[in-house]
C-alpha cells in the first residue's frame, strides 16, 4: 500500500515533544523524510533514532526558530540531506496563564518571538527555498489554536499570536500561489501534551465527564497528513479539530 507522504521532505518545529513529536512520527510513518527541529538536541536525537529504527527516515537539527541564523541553517541542513523541502510545519510555541495586569513586556515579547516571529522566519525561508527548487512549490502548515476563536482566561499574549498567525496564513496563501506554495492552518482544541500535562490535564477515565476532554496529539497529526497528502493544486486551508465534549468551544449542555 502506498503511503500518503512517500518521499516528501518535511521540516517540523517544536518536534522534541507533544504535538510536534507526534506530527514528525506520523509523517515518517506515512513515508516522509522528516527533519525534526527544536532547541533540545539530545531529546531530538532520541526521537530521530526511534523513527529510523522503525524504518523511517529522519534527521534532527537543533534550532531556535526566533534566530535567523538557526532558521537558515535548518533549511540548509534539510536541503543538504534530502535535496529539497516539500512541507514545513510551524508548530513550536509557548504559553502560560498570566493575568493581563501581570504581563511583563519581557514575557509579551518572548511569546510573540516564538509564536509569531518564529513562524514568520520559517515561512520566509520556506518560500525562498520552495520558489527556487524544481519542481517548484510546497506546503506550509501553521499550528493555530481554538483560542483564536474562543480564548481561555489569562491568555492574552498567546491568543493574540494565534489571531496574527491566522492572518499570516491567509497572506502566505495569497503571496505563495504563483510559486505553488500553499499555506494552511490547523486549530487544535484541548490536546494531551507537555503543556496540558503540566497543568494537570489528562484524558478522562471511564465514567468521567470533565468539562474539557483532551484528545491525543496523533489525532491532530492525522489532519496534517490529510492536508499534505492532497494534490498540489488543492488546499485544505483551515481545519478545527477538538474533542467531542470540549464544551468551552461548542457550547454548554
- pLDDT tens over the chain, length 253 residues: 679 999 999 999 999 999 999 999 999 999 999 999 999 999 999 999 999 999 999 999 999 999 999 999 999 999 999 999 999 999 999 988 899 999 999 999 999 999 999 999 999 999 999 999 999 999 999 999 998 888 888 999 999 999 999 999 999 999 999 999 999 999 998 887 654 444 444 554 444 445 456 888 999 999 999 999 999 999 999 999 988 777 666 664 4
pLDDT for 150: 83
What are the backbone dihedrals phi and psi of residue 37, each rounded to the nearest 5 degrees, phi first? -125, 135
pLDDT for 193: 63
pLDDT for 215: 86
27 in Cβ contact with 11 (< 8 Å): no
Domain locations in the chain as residue ranges: 9-250
pLDDT for 212: 53
pLDDT for 31: 98
pLDDT for 250: 65
- How far, in Å, are 55, 64, 96, 134, 243 from residue 126 at the CA level? 27, 16, 29, 14, 32
**Contacts with 163 (C-beta within 8 Å, 6 or more apart), sequence order:** 148
Paired sense of beta strands 87-90 and 9-13, if any: parallel
pLDDT for 149: 85
* 9-250: CATH topology: Rossmann fold (3.40.50)
- How far, in Å, are 24, 146, 163, 250, 253 from residue 149 at the CA level? 27, 5, 8, 11, 19
Which residues are known to be catalytic?
158
Secondary structure class of 232 (helix, strand, coil):
coil
Identify the helix (H) or strand (E) that includes residue 102: none
Identify the helix (H) or strand (E) that includes residue 29: helix 18-29
188 in Cβ contact with 243 (< 8 Å): no
Separation between Cα atoms, residue 145 and residue 43, nearest integer Å = 25
Amino acid at each position: 500500500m502506498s503511503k500518503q507522504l512517500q518521499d516528501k521532505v518535511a521540516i517540523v518545529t517544536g518536534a522534541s515533544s507533544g504535538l510536534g513529536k507526534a506530527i514528525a512520527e506520523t509523517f515518517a510513518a506515512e513515508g516522509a523524510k522528516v527533519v525534526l527541529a527544536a532547541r533540545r538536541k539530545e531529546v531530538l536525537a532520541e526521537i530521530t533514532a526511534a523513527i529510523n529504527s522503525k524504518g523511517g527516515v529522519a534527521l534532527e537539527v537543533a534550532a531556535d526558530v526566533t534566530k535567523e541564523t538557526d532558521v537558515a541553517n535548518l533549511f540548509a541542513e534539510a536541503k543538504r540531506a534530502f535535496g529539497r523541502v516539500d512541507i514545513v510545519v510551524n508548530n513550536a510555541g509557548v504559553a502560560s496563564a498570566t493575568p493581563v495586569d501581570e504581563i511583563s513586556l519581557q514575557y509579551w515579547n518572548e511569546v510573540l518571538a516564538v509564536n509569531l516571529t518564529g513562524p514568520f522566519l520559517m515561512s520566509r525561508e520556506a518560500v525562498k527555498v520552495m520558489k527556487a527548487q524544481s519542481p517548484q512549490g510546497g506546503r506550509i502548515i501553521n499550528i493555530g489554536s481554538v483560542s483564536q476563536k474562543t480564548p481561555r482566561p489569562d491568555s492574552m499574549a498567546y491568543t493574540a499570536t494565534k489571531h496574527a498567525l491566522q492572518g499570516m496564513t491567509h497572506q502566505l496563501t495569497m503571496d505563495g500561489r504563483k510559486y505553488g506554495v500553499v499555506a494552511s492552518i490547523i486549530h487544535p482544541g484541548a490536546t494531551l501534551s507537555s503543556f496540558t500535562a503540566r497543568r494537570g490535564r489528562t484524558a478522562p477515565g471511564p465514567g468521567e465527564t470533565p468539562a474539557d476532554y483532551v484528545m491525543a496529539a496523533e489525532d491532530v497529526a492525522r489532519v496534517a497528513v490529510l492536508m499534505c497528502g492532497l494534490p498540489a493544486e488543492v488546499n485544505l486551508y483551515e481545519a478545527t479539530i477538538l474533542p467531542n465534549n470540549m464544551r468551552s468551544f461548542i457550547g454548554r449542555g
